[in-house]
Amino acid sequence: MSKLLPYLTAAILFTGLPCTTHAQDNLKPLDFVSEQLSEQMLNKVRALSSPELVKAQAEYFRLMYTALIESGFSKDEALKIVIAMVEGD
């Protein structure tokens, strides 16, 4: 019991203390994170919007669609598979 006394005392003392953190202080890190995430998303959209990349992706998905049909999938099945691939990006 004597080993637990300091821990029990600390628990009793600290549970009665009011919290000094304000809600506004808690929002500051979230604002920073939100700003950083927004900037990253904007940069990603800019990078993915390059005409060369868009054309390469279109050619890739067209080749995938054709290969799926040649492998025995119906046109509808191939289209659904390619749509799922696009949505997975």
> According to the model, what pLDDT value does residue 58 have?
94
Which tokens go with 59? Answer: 């050619």
CA distance 8 to 56: 65
**Mean pLDDT over residues 10-37, rounded?**
65
Listed range (10-24, 30-44, 50-64) with the worst mean pLDDT: 10-24
Q: Is the pLDDT of residue 34 over 70?
A: yes
Which tokens go with 85? Answer: 């691939």
What one-letter code names the amino acid at 81?
I
